[in-house]
Structure 1
Amino acid sequence: MMMINGETIHRAPLTGRRVRLRELRESDLPHLVSWWQEADLAVQQLTSPIHPQPAEQLAEMFRTWSRNTGADLGLCVVGRESDELLGHVTLYGATPKDRCATLAVIIGPPHQDKGLGTDAVRTTLRYGFEELGLHRIELTVNGYNDRAQVAYAKAGFTEEGRRREAVFRSGRFHDQVLMSILAHEWQTDQIQ
């Protein structure tokens, strides 16, 4: 807890209850690449075709997402105390006029189903709204990914609609769900 201009600030902007967000380090890349290449994770997360990619190409993708030089922001999710790599979050596509960004998150399979993803999303939302001045944060999730939809709802996201049968996976078409949260909804949720 600290004071800024007489106002009490409870947490560092990139620190959640159980996680911290920090810059990408070269030592993070082998884990991130390995997780990205896991078939089960790809089926849940990706809407594009699942094509195997060379490790260096995937590492460069994470480097690009994590340059943090423009409107896009990419950060590693680590344990609050341990600094163990847990995943990666990205806010991208924001413009000064609309102040709307898209959220993408990957939590490594060894760290899933422990509430760490929800804490990472909540921490990213706080940073996006309080530090970046965003008005809206949105995401898309595959309709069959119930676990992710529940985690996003816990973090305050609301389903806005569906792109019906927009994702072809495992020989079938599936819906893609659009979810969002607005700054005033997030602030209300923080008070309760």
Structure 2
Amino acid sequence: MTTDSQWHQAGQAQSYGEALLQDEQVCLREVEPEDLAQLAAWWNDPQWAVLQQRIAKPRPSQRIMDMLAAWSENKPNSGDAGFSIFERNQGNLIGHATLAGGALPHRAAEFAIMLGGEHVDRGYGTRAVRLMTGYGFNEMGLNRIGLKVAAFNTRALRSYEKAGFSLEGREREVYFHQGKFHDQLSLSLLARDYFATVRP
């Protein structure tokens, strides 16, 4: 990806576009109707819902599908972006990621990601986080990307930290699972920190 302030030929723009939504192993694509049933099944799986949701309460699949479709409409100038995550070599759907609320004047979006359980611990999550943050800063013009994660979700926390996110604070006793309260962590990544570390 070029760091020049402007392009001087079409090839520079095309190289940027080619790398914008994919790396060697993962690509971000539009959410198609055929993706939604699998995404809803992952959302409703209590083993993984407990890591991301305030309460593990499966909902009708159609409502989850409608919600994910709405998050992924990608209307121009909306300040939101949502994509299906695919593994490049085999072309398998592996998850979903969103940036929400990044409109002017604040340009501060909230990030969320979900991977199917069978695709966890393979490095895909960190790659997808990096692609989404790069998209947010390079294409959407965001200044800040924030997220919240349960303190006990140490796997996700490591992935976010590898992608450059910094801990901002701890919200005490936000989650209630197994009869006990659990903390939530707030993390963020700023555009200036992203561009200070991204490779040209």
1:16 offset after TM fit, Å? 2.2
- Structure 1 position 23 matched with structure 2 position 26: no
Residue 61 (structure 2) aligns with: 55
The answer (yes or no) to whether the contact 1:23–1:76 under 8 Å persists in 2 is yes
Residues in 2 aligned to 1:80 and 1:55: alpha-carbon distance in whole angstroms: 27
Describe the superposition over 1:85-115 as per-residue Cα deviations: whole angstroms up to 9, x where unpaired.
0100000011211110000000111110000
**Structure-to-structure mapping, 1:64-83, within 5 angstroms:** 64-69=70-75, 70-83=78-91
Q: With structure 1 as the length reference, what TM-score do the two structures score? A: 0.93
1:17 offset after TM fit, Å? 2.9
**Structure-to-structure mapping, 1:29-108, within 5 angstroms:** 29-47=36-54, 49-69=55-75, 70-108=78-116
The answer (yes or no) to whether the contact 2:85–2:93 under 8 Å persists in 1 is yes
**Unaligned residue ranges in structure 1 (runs of 5+):** none
**Unaligned residue ranges in structure 2 (runs of 5+):** none
Residues in 1 aligned to 2:119 and 2:89: alpha-carbon distance in whole angstroms: 15
Instruction: Give the number of aligned pairs.
Output: 191
The structure with more strand, counted as a fraction of residues: 1
Identical pairs, percent: 39
Describe the superposition over 1:49-78 as per-residue Cα deviations: whole angstroms up to 9, x where unpaired.
222211111111111111111221110001
**Structure-to-structure mapping, 1:1-192, within 5 angstroms:** 4-6=7-9, 8=12, 9=15, 11-47=18-54, 49-69=55-75, 70-191=78-199
The answer (yes or no) to whether the contact 1:17–1:119 under 8 Å persists in 2 is no
The answer (yes or no) to whether the contact 2:46–2:58 under 8 Å persists in 1 is no
Which deviates the most, 58-67 or 5-14?
5-14
